[in-house]
A and B are shown apart, each in its own frame.
With several copies, the nearest count.
Chain A
Amino acid sequence: MKVIVQEGLFDPYQVTRDYEARCLPVGKHGAVVTFVGTMRDFNDGHNVSAMFLEHYPGMTERHIEAVCQEAAEKWDVIDALVLHRHGDISVSEPIVLVAVWSAHRAHAFDACRYIINYLKERAPFWKREATTQGHQRWVEHNTEDPGVNSQGTKQKTA
């Protein structure tokens, strides 16, 4: 398992492919689930043009690693990779990648979702958005994922 917190743009799909080629045993996983969080041009009713993401070096990595470890204890995880940016981020750029390899798809889905949910809850990052009106504001709270399948709840914001 690997956790990377870095400044600067990355390609989540190339990172996933390269990590799999370098680190995963051949023929053991049957399922890979990736989550990529990207920067939208709107949030909480504001039009957003750019973002700065602050973190707490050391504590951030430690808490992401703890969340990955918890996921690996709950489900059959062969490997997991988390890459999270800090610093300046532009619209449409990736912010975070979570990739989970497992023998079974249910475990890969559950573990990937657990990692991103608890990373968002516990890893110390703070977003400061620049709106298109030229204002800067600290984002006060993240949107939530109920963490369960929300079939038929298209109206639910999550």
Chain B
Amino acid sequence: MNITVRYFANMRDRMGRAEDSVAVDGETITVEELWGRVSPQQTLPANVLIAVNMEYTDASRALKNGDEVAFFPPVTGG
């Protein structure tokens, strides 16, 4: 299955890219395992927010084919 991964604000700066496309062979993968694929050197920072298909979720969320996963810092709008 294929997962789109997006990074915003200082997470994009840290990753050095805005987006990844990840092909997963196995049956399932959680957000946390996905993070291990895109950032093998560093565990998921504690205050990073996670959205799947534009809804907030947590690192244990299981992903399915076509999901869009986003990693970003606490929001500061308004």
Q: A residues within 8 Å of B by Cβ?
A: 37, 53-56, 58-60, 62, 84, 95-96, 116, 119-128, 138-142
Contacts and interface: CB of A to CB of B under 8 A. Distances in A.
A124 B77 contact: yes
A114 to B, nearest CB: 13
A124 to B, nearest CB: 5
Interface of B: 6, 8-10, 13, 51, 54, 56, 70, 72-78
Task: Name A's interface SS.
Answer: mixed
Contacts of A62: 54
Task: Name B's interface SS.
Answer: loop
Contact of B54 (A53, A58, A127, A128): A58
A62 B74 CA distance: 17
B58 to A, nearest CB: 15
A126 B78 contact: no
A68 to B, nearest CB: 14
Contact of B78 (A54, A116, A128): A116
Contacts of A141: 74, 76
B68 to A, nearest CB: 9
Contacts of B54: 56, 58-59, 62
A139 B74 CA distance: 9
A116 B74 CA distance: 16
Contact of A54 (B9, B51, B56, B70): B9
B76 A119 contact: no
A84 B74 contact: no
Given A59-B51, A59-B70, A84 B8 contact: no
B73 A126 contact: yes
B36 to A, nearest CB: 23
Nearest to B56: A122
Given A56-B8, A56-B70, A127 B77 contact: yes
B51 A125 contact: no
A23 B9 CA distance: 36
A96 B78 CA distance: 6
